[in-house]
């Protein structure tokens, strides 16, 4: 614990916690402070000017990060027959129907994303109280309730990230690894910000992106100058 505190203290010496840094400089600082033995995840957190308790201010969606997440994603697919075979060939880690539902009800949730064909939703719907709080419930708006299971699996494993604003209007996501190049992290963050802007709800008033910061798993947070987050579409 003492060594962790010392490492963070040293990392913060190169960062002015009151300064909002440009995206390029912030990424350099994050990479410099990532000193632990494992490849840390780089995360972005954004404070949005929304109140998700109101239906017209919900912010939710998916984004395909151009350089992936650097994370191995385990995908479960609810499907039967030919669609189950398609899912297996496409690289799904778990494929099933009632038996897969039984595993989940027993607490065996060994996956990061869940996909279902439309005909399986009566089975999946019974798992809402388990999958919903974990952000794993298949949703047609997110492309995870679909007959094109191959494409959905490839997207999930290839760098697709789901996002959803929490009660305080905070949205966050992993956008790569500390080992990524500065350019790769920049491109991923810009893609994420574009998706957040595209998901701006009709009920949002005033400043939409109020604050933002980036950090690595074990490193300090770095405030971002929101005006530097925009990028060409």
pLDDT in tens, 167-209: 889 999 999 999 999 999 999 999 999 999 999 998 888 899 9
**How many domains does the chain divide into?**
2
The rounded distance, in Å, linking the Cα atoms of 151 and 136 is 18
Q: Check whether residue 171 and residue 194 sit in a common domain.
A: yes
* Of 112, 132, 158, the domain-final residue: 158
| pLDDT of res. 173 | 92
Within-domain flag for 233: no
- Confidence grade of residue 11 (pLDDT, cut at 50, 70, 90): low
Q: Are residues 27 and 99 in the same domain?
A: no
The answer to the question of residue 153 being in a domain is: yes
Range of the domain at 127: 75-158
Supply the pTM of this predicted model. 0.81
Whether 27 maps to a domain, the answer reads: yes
81-89 and 149-158 helices, crossing angle to 10°: 30
* Sequence-separated (6 or more) residues with CB below 8 Å from residue 5: none
Residues 184 and 202 in one domain: yes
Q: Are residues 104 and 131 in the same domain?
A: yes
CATH number of the domain within which 81 lies: 3.40.50.790
């Amino acid at each position: 614990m003492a060594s962790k505190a010392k490492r963070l203290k040293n990392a913060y010496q190169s960062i002015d916690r009151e300064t909002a840094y440009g995206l390029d400089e912030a990424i350099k600082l994050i990479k410099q402070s990532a000193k632990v033995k494992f490849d840390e995840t780089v995360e972005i957190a954004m404070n949005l000017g929304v109140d998700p308790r109101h239906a017209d201010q919900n912010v939710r969606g998916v984004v395909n990060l151009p350089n992936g997440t650097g994370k191995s994603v385990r995908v479960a697919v609810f499907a039967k027959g030919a669609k189950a075979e398609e899912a297996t060939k496409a690289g799904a880690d778990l494929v099933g129907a009632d038996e897969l539902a039984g595993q989940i009800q027993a607490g065996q949730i060994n996956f990061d994303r869940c996909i279902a064909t439309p005909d399986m939703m009566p089975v999946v719907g019974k798992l809402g109280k388990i999958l919903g709080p974990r952000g794993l419930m298949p949703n047609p708006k997110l492309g995870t309730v679909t007959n094109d299971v191959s494409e959905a699996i490839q997207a999930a494993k290839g760098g697709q990230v789901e996002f959803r604003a929490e009660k305080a209007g905070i949205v966050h996501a992993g956008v790569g690894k500390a080992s990524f190049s500065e350019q790769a992290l920049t491109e991923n963050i810009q893609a994420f910000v574009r998706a957040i802007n595209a998901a701006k709800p009709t009920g949002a008033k005033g400043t939409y992106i109020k604050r933002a910061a980036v950090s690595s798993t074990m490193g300090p947070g770095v405030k971002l100058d929101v005006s530097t987050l925009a990028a060409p579409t």
